[in-house]
Amino acid sequence: MPSNKMILQSPNTNQVACPALFLTAPASNQGKTTITAALARHFSKLGKTVRVFKTGPDYLDPLILAQASGHPVEQLDIWMAGTEYCQERLYLAAQHADLILVEGAMGMFDGEPSSADLAACFGIPMAIVMDVKGMAQTAAAVASGLAAFRDDVEVSGLIANRCGSERHAQLIRDALPESVPLLATLKRDEEVTLPERHLGLVQAEEVTQELEQKFEAAVDWLRQTNDKGLLELPKPVVFSEPVTSYENSDIEPQLDGKRIAVAKDLAFSFIYHANLDALERLGAKIYFFSPLYDHELPDCDAVWLPGGYPELHSNVLANNDEIKQALYAFYEAGKPILAECGGMLYCLESLTDLEQNTVPMLGILQGQGSMRGKRGCQGMQTAVCPQGEIRAHAHHRSRSAGTPDPIGHGRRQRHPAPGEPIYQVKGLTASYLHFFFPSNLTAIAAIFSER
């Protein structure tokens, strides 16, 4: 739709102003996603266009936040995507949005780059979300310390989550300095808690109606606060158009006319919207299919098996012989297949779930996969492939054994030890790594082309 925003002219670039707020916390599990979703729904109900972004590599939170806001949610990560890419996503969103919300990852200063780095880079004020159960003045001390830790980060205030009473809130309010106001005091309410499982939140598609009930309850929850700062639009932030544009750059259509079949169902859903956009920018046509329920592949030139939860649907996957045979024949013909994390587990000979049930998988990659309880691997890595280097990340609680020799390993962001192995057999590229396609379109085009 056409924008009613005024584009501000400056000597070197275009700019646009839009109210924006960055939701951060001292640690994980403080309620950031619940509050971000509640805010998105609150302002949407007021007729505002709300665009939400998620910091770092995350597939599940964005689905929740997209349902809450009514708009797609994109990732922002300076290391994974680059500063100018992030700048352009914010600039484009600001042209049409009445409000931009960014949900951080982990703690405010955790990671390199951190949520604070991202907020500072684009001048977005940060609201600190803190679970204050079991503390009062100490919550004010922690918030004050976070606010003063760096002078390039602006903190707009504290959101006290799971606040027990107005007396509890008053103790925190009185202990805070004027520079860190109390934006909201949110009571303990399990009705708004989002459902979780071992890799994070439950997929939005599985609990659509339940989420709608929680979003509506969360709006009421927000509006019950005695501190109203969070219920008003934050101050505008000026977002600038980057010098180098990803959106308008001349991309050679290296996959022009190629048909790519993408697995997408409850077993395979870890798909960045940016990755689909990258394939289309390269000229590819995308066709979705379900390894759970479809019995044949779409007419295609390449296949992408993204990550997800194959272990939760392993019996259905194992018993769908028709699609398994179709994928096996596709592999035997030397056609390109990219399999990431859960997609790689599906390619192995077998998969053992958390209850120690073992079922046969595709068998196009030698080895056996097995789920693990709490131990796993996560972190940012660069996938070092013969086709080129691609920014990526790992997040899994499983292991594989008996696999062939890898053609290389991921390069960890901060640690010298080898990262996740990368396998290439015939046309198959498989790894635990989740690739961020826009980081190297040429390498992605080569992976999806016949070798």
Among candidates 313, 274, 306, which has minimal Cα distance to 433?
306
Whether residue 331 lies inside any domain: the answer is yes
Residue 248 lies in a domain: no
Are both 294 and 198 inside the same structural domain?
no
Q: Are residues 303 and 396 in the same domain?
A: yes
Strand partners of residue 392:
381, 435
Asked whether residue 249 is domain-assigned, the answer is no
Number of domains in the chain: 2
Same domain, 216 and 314: no
111 plus 20 within the same structural domain: yes
pLDDT confidence bin for 398, thresholds 50/70/90: confident
Q: pLDDT tens across 420-451, in order?
A: 999 999 999 999 999 999 999 999 999 999 87
Residue 294 lies in a domain: yes
Determine, yes or no, domain membership for 435: yes
What Cα–Cα distance (Å) separates residue 222 from each residue in 100, 125, 179, 226?
Answer: 18, 20, 22, 10
Could you tell me the pTM of the whole model?
0.89
Q: What is the CATH number of the domain that holds 263?
A: 3.40.50.880
Domain check: are 364 and 424 in the same one?
A: yes
Mean pLDDT for the chain overall = 91
Q: DSSP strand E in 302-407: where?
A: 302-305, 307-308, 337-340, 350-352, 358-360, 368-371, 377-385, 388-396, 398-401
pLDDT in tens, 249-308: 778 899 999 999 999 999 999 999 999 999 999 999 999 999 999 999 999 999 999 999
Shared domain for 73 and 13, answered yes or no, is: yes
Q: Residue 122's domain is classified under what CATH number?
A: 3.40.50.300
Q: Are residues 215 and 312 in the same domain?
A: no
Does 295 lie in the same domain as 179? no
42 and 121 fall within a common domain: yes
In DSSP notation, 171-234 reads HHHHHS-TTS-EEEEEE--GGGPPPEETTEEPPGGGSHHHHHHHHHHHHHHHHT-S--GGGSPP
> Final residue of a domain: which of 210, 240, 270?
240
Choose one of 240, 268, 297: the last residue of a domain: 240
Task: Determine which of 92-101, 135-144, 289-298, 353-362 has the lowest per-residue pLDDT on average.
Answer: 353-362
Task: Compute the distance between CA of residue 244 and CA of residue 263 in angstroms, rounded to an integer.
Answer: 33
Tell me, yes or no, whether 133 and 172 share the same domain. Answer: yes
Confidence of residue 205 (pLDDT cuts 50, 70, 90): low
Lowest mean pLDDT among 1-10, 132-141, 231-240, 437-446: 1-10
| Active-site residue, 86 included | no
**Which of 185, 210, 240 is at the close of a domain?**
240
Q: Based on the domain organization, do 151 and 267 belong to the same domain?
A: no
Give me the domain span that covers residue 141.
8-240
Q: Is residue 254 part of a domain?
A: no
* Longest distance between any two alpha carbons in the chain, whole Å: 70
For residue 28, pLDDT over 70 is answered with yes
Residue 361 lies in a domain: yes
Overall average pLDDT of the 387-399 stretch: 90
Closest CA to 350 of 342, 364, 339, 361: 361
Q: Which of these is catalytic: 341, 347, 377, 385? A: 341
Contacts 24+ apart (CB under 8 A), 204-208: 204/60, 204/63, 204/64, 204/66, 204/67, 205/63, 205/266, 205/269, 206/266, 208/67
Q: State phi, psi for 371 to the nearest 5 degrees.
A: -80, 150
| 232 and 303 housed in the same domain | no
Selected residue with higher pLDDT from 231 and 58 = 231
| pLDDT reported for residue 198 | 42
pLDDT of the residue at 204: 46
Is there a domain that residue 132 lies in?
yes
For 102-132, write each residue's pLDDT tens digit. 999 999 999 889 999 999 999 999 999 999 9
